[in-house]
Structure formats: C-alpha cells, structure tokens
C-alpha cells in the first residue's frame, strides 16, 4: 500500500523577522531582528475592502471597486530583548558603557517597521512582507509561575509577496520570568505577593490616506493610552486608600537574575498613576485578592544590557 501524500505543514516551516524602515512603507534594508523568544503570529488580517457596484435592471453585483488597503498582524512572544520598544514608543537614546542604558520615550511620530513572514510550503515558498507596519497596541503580562508574556497588534498598510526564504533567527537573549520581577507603587514601595501585573500601551494609530492612492502615505499615533491591572493578595486597606487619588509613580522591573556585566534589566517607569477601579473576591479556602485597574500619564522604558546600540 502506498503512503498518503501529506502537504500540510506546521510552524516548524515558518519564521518571523523584522527591520526598521527608513521611510514609511518602502521596506527595510535588512530584516534580521526578532520580537522575542517563542514568538508566534496568532493572526494576520488583510483587507482589500471591496465595494459592490449595482446597476439598474439587475439584482446581482455588476462589478467591484476597492477602498483603502488595511492589514493587521497579531503577535505573541516571551519578553527577552527590548528592541521593539523603539517602535512602540517612537524614540530611544543610549548612554553609558558596559553596561549600556537604552531609554525609550514617547515621540509624536512612530518608527515604522517591515515584517517578513516566511513559510516553506510543500508546493512552494510563501514570503509575505508587511510594510508600513506600526505598533498599535502592546500588552505586557507578568503572572506568578510564568514567563513575561507580550502580545501586540501591529497595523500595516502595504504588502508584497516573494518566494525567497530569509534566514530564520532565534533571539540570543533568555526570556524574563516572574521570578526576577518586582512592582513598586508608589516608586520605592515594593508590593508583596503580586499575582498578576498587566500593562497596555495603546498608540491608537490612524492610517493617513490621500487622493491618488488606496495605500496609506503614513500612520499617525493619536492619544497615548497607558493602562493596566494589578492582582494582589489583600492585606489591609492601603490600596483602597489609593483609589481616585493620583499617585506619583509606579515601577515594574524585570531582570535576568545575573550580576555584573551579565545582568540585563528592563524597567517600566510610569508617572501620574490614577487607580480608578478596585475589586475583591472572597471564596472558601481561596486567597482573598484585590484587583486594581489603573491608568498613567507618562511612561519611560529603560533597558540595561551589554549591547552598545539598538540593532
């Protein structure tokens, strides 16, 4: 009996890379960076936005015309390297020497990237290039017993296809985990027994279109929305006292657990913290937990490592 011919393949035949664009939508010179460890694409949506044309004397569609092109990529990964925060925040500066401090701050415009998604299919290669890609949202989640996880929605406004596979790359940095994470609220006061910390950065990106092309000529970040949640064991009424009263600072820090030049850290520093929601739950034989929802005015991300510049 002859064996079945199987043409379906898994993610073992695929890869993801990205690179910085010099100008919006024109692609990157090189695409050699990865988002982090265990990276994956959980969804790609490409919209041609066709509109039907109906004519008199018939009920069926006679033709079509195309509106604006839009695309969205949703990715997940384990936090390891900090480089994508340049695209998230828009600006980065580097100081110091061995180790180096990379400070990511908000800018009025964002840095666009090109994402390369390759797949070695049984009947041919498929390489998709998502151009004019900008980070719309990024959510960081730290949970007891887990690695630090990242989820990001990235909008893109152009796409090209190819067949030449690139070189798959695995991040050289090890992932950060809950075991070496701390949360301070306000800054300088370490919160004990934090169960979950979540931070979302939303750029609220708007594609900029004009007459002459159905493809965007730029992408504009609108209001920067910084929000998050904290789940923590209840000990007293301290956190209830923070409700509705702006706190000065909040700081979430992760390290790789090493020392000296081998140490790597990423610190998220927020100022102007407003806790607007507080919830609790009580069940027999279960931890009594507080759940806090907060928003912040400003955010700075500081990464310290032994890499001299953002690659």
Tens digits of per-residue pLDDT, 134-170?
999 999 999 999 999 999 999 999 999 999 999 999 9
pLDDT tens readout for residues 42-65: 999 999 999 999 999 999 999 999
Closest C-alpha to 19, from 93, 112, 100:
112
Tell me, what's the pLDDT at 4? 63
Beta partners for 245?
none
Q: Is residue 4 part of a domain?
A: no
Cis previous bond, 243, omega within 30: no
Q: Is residue 85 part of a domain?
A: yes
Q: What is the pTM of this model?
A: 0.95
The count of structural domains within the chain is 1
Maximum separation of any 2 CA atoms in the chain, in Å: 79
The stretches in the chain having pLDDT less than 70 are 1-5
Residue 163, both tokens = 């067949």
Closest C-alpha to 31, from 117, 111, 102, 104:
117
φ/ψ (deg, to 5) at 309: -155, 160
Tell me, what's the pLDDT at 38? 98
Tell me, what's the pLDDT at 187? 79
Tell me, what's the pLDDT at 3? 58
Closest C-alpha to 166, from 291, 28, 309:
28
Beta partners for 302?
103, 267
Q: Is residue 148 part of a domain?
A: yes
Tell me, what's the pLDDT at 261? 84
Beta partners for 155?
72, 134
Q: Is residue 3 part of a domain?
A: no
User: Which residue segment(s) compose the domain that 200 sits in?
Assistant: 13-49+64-305
Q: Is residue 56 part of a domain?
A: no
Q: Is residue 58 part of a domain?
A: no
Tell me, what's the pLDDT at 7? 84
From residue 160, how far is each of 27, 32, 105, 119, 308 by CA, in Å? 10, 18, 31, 14, 33
Exposed, middle or buried, 132 (CB in 10 Å: 0-12/13-18/19+)? Answer: buried
Q: Is residue 204 part of a domain?
A: yes
Q: Is residue 242 part of a domain?
A: yes
């Amino acid at each position: 009996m002859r064996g079945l011919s199987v043409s379906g393949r898994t993610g073992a035949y695929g890869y993801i890379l990205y690179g910085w664009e010099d100008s919006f939508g024109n692609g990157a010179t090189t695409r050699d960076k990865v988002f982090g460890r265990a990276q994956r694409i959980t969804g790609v949506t490409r919209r041609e936005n066709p509109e039907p044309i109906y004519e008199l004397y018939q009920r069926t569609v006679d033709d079509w015309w195309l509106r604006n092109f839009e695309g969205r990529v949703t990715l997940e990964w384990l936090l390891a390297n900090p480089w994508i925060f340049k695209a998230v925040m828009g600006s980065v500066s580097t100081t110091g020497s061995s180790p180096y401090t990379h400070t990511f701050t908000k800018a009025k415009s964002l840095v666009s990237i090109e994402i390369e998604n390759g797949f070695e299919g049984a009947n041919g290669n498929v390489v998709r290039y998502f151009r004019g890609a900008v980070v719309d949202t990024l959510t960081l989640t730290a949970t007891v017993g887990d690695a630090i996880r990242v989820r990001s929605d990235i909008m893109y406004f152009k796409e090209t296809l190819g067949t030449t596979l690139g070189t798959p790359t695995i991040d050289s940095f090890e992932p950060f985990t809950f075991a070496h994470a701390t949360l301070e609220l306000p800054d300088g006061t370490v919160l004990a027994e934090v169960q979950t910390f979540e931070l979302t950065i939303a750029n609220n990106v708007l594609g900029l279109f004009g007459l002459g092309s159905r493809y965007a000529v730029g992408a504009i970040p609108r209001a920067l929305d910084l929000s998050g949640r904290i789940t923590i064991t209840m000990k007293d009424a301290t956190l209830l006292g923070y409700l509705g009263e702006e706190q000065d600072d909040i700081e979430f820090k992760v390290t790789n657990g090493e020392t000296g030049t081998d140490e790597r850290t990423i610190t998220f520093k927020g100022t102007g913290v407003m806790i607007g929601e507080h919830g609790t739950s009580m069940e027999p034989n279960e931890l009594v937990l507080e759940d806090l929802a907060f928003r912040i005015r400003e955010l700075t991300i500081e990464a310290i490592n032994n890499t001299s510049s953002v690659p």
